[in-house]
């Protein structure tokens, strides 16, 4: 157990729908990162939050949004889903050091 | 543009047959280079962080090295349980901490 918890593990939904993925960071970590992993693209950075505030954005679509709550858990919202959004979505948390970058076990999203 | 290229894409070894995986990178101000292991359907598992050229780190049958342009992950006398995808990532000096990943090398070790 890495200490980073992601729910749900699997999600199947239809095109056009909206889903929410949840991440609880490792205890004490203030930074949360979201990544998308598809078969042909590898791991792509989406967005980072630090102590409730957005810190950096990567290749995140406008249909996607995220937030981090006062208890430091984070949610990634995906809307108007398309078939191409099917992927593994990972959350990672960090204590700011170069040793403390830890990934969760991911949410597998399938859009049908 | 910051980028990471890993080679080969896939590698098949016999148990006990040592080899190396390559990670070439272009980054503006390297803060750290990371190696992760990823099993199918699982999250990346941290292996090493390297900071500066010339640095080496070892863990069991794995040894990671770093130069100014590339990193190598050497696998000595691999076992079937070493089969996984190995991911290389860099953190740029000007970033807020996000990692830039290569596409990985899928390693298969046959008994």
Q: Tell me: the pLDDT tens digits for B16-30?
A: 999 999 999 998 888
Residues from chain B that touch A105, judged by Cβ atoms under 8 A, are 42-43
Tokens describing residue B47: 């292996």
Q: Is B101 on the interface with A (CB under 8 A)?
A: yes
Q: Is A104 on the interface with B (CB under 8 A)?
A: yes
pLDDT at A98: 63
pLDDT at B95: 76
Instruction: Give the minimum alpha-carbon distance from B39 to chain A in angstroms, rounded to a whole number.
Output: 10
Q: Is B100 on the interface with A (CB under 8 A)?
A: yes
pLDDT at A76: 98
Residues from chain B that touch A94, judged by Cβ atoms under 8 A, are 97
Nearest to B98 among A2, A56, A108 (CB): A56
Measure the CA–CA gap between B104 and B4, rounded to whole angstroms.
Answer: 10
Using the 8-state DSSP alphabet, how is residue B76 labeled?
Answer: -
Q: Report long-range pairs for B66-70 (Cβ below 8 Å, ≥24 apart).
A: B66/B33, B69/B24, B69/B25, B69/B26, B70/B22, B70/B23, B70/B24, B70/B25
Whole-number mean pLDDT of chain B?
A: 94
pLDDT at A99: 63
Residues from chain B that touch A55, judged by Cβ atoms under 8 A, are 96-97
Q: Beta strands B70-75 and B19-26: pairing type?
A: antiparallel
Instruction: Give the minimum alpha-carbon distance from A75 to chain B in angstroms, rounded to a whole number.
Output: 17
Q: Which of B70, B65, B73 is nearest to B18 (CA)?
A: B73
Residues from chain B that touch A108, judged by Cβ atoms under 8 A, are 41
- pLDDT tens sequence for chain A (112 residues): 779 999 999 999 999 999 999 999 999 899 999 999 998 778 999 999 999 999 999 989 999 999 999 999 999 999 999 999 999 999 999 887 766 689 999 999 999 9
Please write the tens of the pLDDT for every residue from B44-91: 999 999 999 999 999 999 999 999 999 999 999 999 999 999 999 998
With vertex at residue B20, the alpha carbon angle to CA B109 and CA B30, rounded to the nearest 5 degrees, is 130
Question: C-alpha dihedral over A67, A73, A78, A79, to 10 degrees?
Answer: -60
Across the interface, do B98 and A106 touch by the CB < 8 Å criterion?
no
Q: Produce one character per residue of A29-48: b if its CB has 16 or more CB atoms within 10 Å, e if not.
A: bbbbbbbbbeeeebbbbbbb
């Amino acid at each position: 157990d890495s200490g980073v918890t992601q729910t749900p593990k699997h999600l199947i939904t239809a095109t056009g729908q909206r889903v929410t993925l949840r991440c609880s960071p490792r205890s004490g970590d203030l930074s949360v990162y979201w990544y998308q992993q598809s078969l042909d693209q590898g791991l792509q950075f989406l967005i980072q939050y630090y102590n409730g505030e957005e810190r950096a954005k990567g290749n995140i679509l406008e249909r996607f949004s995220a937030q981090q709550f006062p208890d430091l858990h984070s949610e990634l919202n995906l809307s108007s889903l398309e078939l191409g959004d099917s992927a593994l979505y990972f959350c990672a948390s960090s204590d700011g050091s170069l040793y403390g970058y830890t990934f969760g076990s991911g949410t597998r999203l399938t859009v049908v | 543009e910051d980028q990471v290229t890993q080679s080969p894409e896939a590698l098949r070894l016999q148990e006990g047959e040592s080899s190396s995986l390559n990670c070439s990178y272009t980054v503006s101000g390297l803060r750290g280079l990371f190696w992760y292991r990823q099993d199918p359907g699982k999250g990346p598992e941290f292996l090493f962080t390297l900071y500066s050229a010339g640095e080496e780190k070892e863990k069991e049958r794995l040894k990671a090295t770093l130069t100014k342009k590339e990193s190598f992950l050497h696998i000595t006398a691999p076992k079937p349980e070493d089969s996984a995808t190995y991911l290389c990532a860099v953190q740029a000096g000007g970033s807020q901490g996000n990692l830039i990943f290569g596409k990985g090398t899928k390693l298969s070790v046959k008994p």
